[in-house]
Structure formats: C-alpha cells, structure tokens
Amino acid sequence: MKKRLMSLILCGVLVVASLSLTACGSDAGEKSSAPAAAEEADEAEDEEEVEEEAADEAEAGDDAVTDETWTKLQELYAKLVEARDATVEFYNDESVAQSDDIENGLQTADELIEQIGNVERADVLESEAEDYINAMLAVNDIFAAVLDNAQAAGDSADADYSQMFDECYAGITDDENTYAYLAFGQIGALMFYNTATNESGSFVGAYELDEETGAITITDESLGVTMTFTVEEGDDGYYLDMGDVGAAFVQSVSTEDFTAAMQAIAQGAEPQF
C-alpha cells in the first residue's frame, strides 16, 4: 500500500508541476532591452507563440474531464469523506484501544483528502481521472486498515479480561487437535484453537443458563451469533457437549493463564499454558 500511495503522491506532484510549467516562459525582460529595430521581429515571434499556446490549450480542452466523469469523481470524494468520518467516530469510541500507528494513518489520510479536495475541475484531464480515482481508493485502504487494526487492538492485549472472569477452564476437544477455553464472570467466553489447521473461533458476550436442561448459551457481542452447550461435572473437570461441534473436557485454570490464551488466539497465535 505504501508503494501505491507514494506513486499517487508523485503523480500529484507531476500534475502540479505540469500546470506550473504551463504558466512559465515570459520574454518580457528581453523585449524591454532589445533594440528598436528588433522589436517588430520579437512581437511577431510573440504572436506566433501566443497562437501556438492557444492551439495547445484548445487541444488540451479536447481532453478536459467530462461532466459525467467529474460528477463521478465528486460522488466518490463525498463517499470518501463519509468513510473518514465514520472511521474517526469508530476509533474514538472508548472501547477501541488507542494507537500511535493508527493516529498517524488517520493524519496521513486527512492530508491526502485535503489535497484531493483542493483539486479543481480545470486541473483534471479525462485521461488523468483514473489517477484521482486510484488516489481516493488508496485513502480508503487506509480507513480499512484502521478498522482492522483497531478491532484487533480492542480484542487483544489491551483488554484486561482478568477483571471480567471469575471461573476459567481449559482443555482439549475429543478430536485431540483443538484447545478449548471456557470462562464465566461479567460475561461468558468460549474459545477454540485448532493446532492442526491454526484456525480459531470464539464466542464472547452475555450468557444464559437454562436451569431445566442445564444448557448454557453464550451470545457473541460482535457477531450476534450464539453457541449452546451442556456441562457435565466429572471426577476432575467438566465435559462440554456442543452437539455437532463436538465435545471437550476442561479443567480449572487461573484467570492469568486464561487471559494469556485469549490474547494469543486474538493475535492468531497458538495459546501456551
């Protein structure tokens, strides 16, 4: 993404430079010091240059951005600003961990949005419209990265889960390839990590106990999906029957060990006890 952004910034510099060069090239100083005998020749040459510049401008005008393209650029820019506002609102939520990297990314995005917003229609040729579209898509990539990284930060080491749980358990499922973790307290948590595939899953949120059936249901706060399972006490632990998902045997562990496992899973790493 950095290469894309750099190429887009350089493209913008080249556009500005080309516009600046178009405005340069006056011979006023030479004319003021030329002998009177040569003034007529200079004036004729100046008129020829003016005609050539007019022809160049007319040719450029043929490639001027069309009404349809300019409208699309304006609509895309408006959506980009909306995406920026929504991302900032999300990041400023108290549940999201703050990060210098994320704030630097947002600052970079703001600077690019300001640069793109200052571009006037007269500055854009039809052949260059795609460059501006790519520039806006690149900025949108920054917002996507912010959302991804902020979500990961909010779900990882910055969260003090040890203060949320009173009872924590860990064990292995009946396929002997998957770690299972269970905890209860202010919220409930049921997590899995498959050592064979390095895949993980979790259900973290409010939980309910059905006293008639003994079934426990945990509703994941972020996805809104649920997991229901029954718990049967054994000699030195508990058996979890999760239906099609399988079964697991778990034993009591400390909240510190459980928190470490939860953080590792959130970061895509194998949990270690």
Q: Distances from the Cα of 65 to the Cαs of 3, 74, 114, 118, 128, in angstroms?
A: 27, 12, 20, 16, 8
Burial class (CB in 10 A: 0-12, 13-18, 19+), 133: middle
**Alpha helices per DSSP H over 92-185:** 100-117, 129-155
Residues 60 and 75: beta-carbon distance below 8 Å:
no
Predicted local confidence at residue 109, as pLDDT: 86
Predicted local confidence at residue 273, as pLDDT: 59
Select 162-266's CATH number: 3.10.450, 2.40.128, 1.20.1740, 1.10.3470: 2.40.128
| Claim: this prediction has a pTM higher than 0.85 | no
Instruction: Give every residue of the chain whose pLDDT is below 50, as ranges.
Output: 1-39, 41, 57-61, 152-159
Predicted local confidence at residue 230, as pLDDT: 92
Predicted local confidence at residue 17, as pLDDT: 34
Greatest Cα pair distance, the chain, in angstroms, is 115
Domain ranges, ordered by start, for the chain: 2-155, 162-266
Predicted local confidence at residue 258, as pLDDT: 85
